[in-house]
Amino acid sequence: MLYTDGNSFCRINGSKIPIKRGLLLITSPGDEHNFSPVYPGYAVYSEITFSFFSGQKTIELPFFEILNVLSGVKITDTASCVCFNEEKISRLLDLIRVLIHALNTHSETAQFQSDIILGNILSFLFTELAGKSSVMSNGESDITMNKIRELIDNNYSQKFYVRVLAEQAGLSPSHFMRKFKALYGYSLITYLHRKRIEAAENLLLSTN
């Protein structure tokens, strides 16, 4: 739930929360909530409800535990409300608008496009909710990840194998890939690609 305007209060699990622009509220199955103004005033908001299934059964896990499972990285700070600045408000609203448009197209690729956009929304929320301090829940592991990134930075022209890097980090290949993106903002492949492009651009500048 993202509020874009308002002047009142809402409630989550008995707590009274002032409504203001940029307020993001996160609830999980079983949470008591009232997003509408509980005192005189008004509220303008956009809302997304996520439902996750295993077979035919709904998964009744807290939202943060879902993010932990999807990312492979434990989020330690599970605040139910955060406040976004204008840039982040705009980014999330754009993603919501694109998702709604994709769902309403009824084309053959609508489900495929919607899944990608939904993934982008979850990735955005994970990045904003986890933060660097929460993502780095295992200091020793993250020091190792930083050493691996330094190795890549110094040898970006070489070929790297995910399996080998994951073994160095003490992680499974899939967990390594998720943690690399969570820590550095890019997948390993994209990170390497960017490093090589930067090197090529610097070479061109130095020869001109």
Task: Name the CATH code of domain 2-135 (choices 3.30.365, 2.60.120, 3.40.50, 2.40.160).
Answer: 2.60.120
Query: What is the per-residue pLDDT across 33-62, written as a single tens digit (0 to 9) for each?
Result: 899 998 889 999 999 998 888 888 888 888
Of 180, 154, 183, 153, the closest CA to residue 165 belongs to 180
* In the predicted structure, residue 183 carries a pLDDT above the cut 90: no
Where along the chain do its domains lie?
2-135, 139-207
**Alpha-carbon distances, residue 47 vs 43, 59, 171 (angstroms):** 12, 20, 36
* pLDDT band of 90, cuts 50, 70, 90: very high
Which DSSP state fits 170?
T
Helix (H) or strand (E) run with residue 159 in it: none
pTM, whole model, 2 decimals? 0.60
- Alpha-carbon 163 to chain mean position: 24
Q: Which CATH superfamily is domain 139-207 in?
A: Homeodomain-like (1.10.10.60)
- Alpha-carbon 175 to chain mean position: 15
- Neighbouring-strand partners of residue 16: 11
**b/e 55-88 (16+ beta carbons within 10 angstroms → b):** eeeeeeebbbeebbeebbbebeeeebbbebeeeb
**137 against 201, higher pLDDT:** 201
* pLDDT band of 207, cuts 50, 70, 90: low
- Neighbouring-strand partners of residue 45: 3
Report how far residue 191's alpha carbon sits from residue 162's, in angstroms, rounded to the nearest whole number.
13
* In the predicted structure, residue 140 carries a pLDDT above the cut 70: no
Give all strands (DSSP E) within the chain, no chain letters.
2-6, 9-12, 15-18, 23-25, 33-34, 43-46, 53-54, 57-58, 81-83
Which residue shows structure tokens 């739930």? Answer: 1
**134 against 44, higher pLDDT:** 44
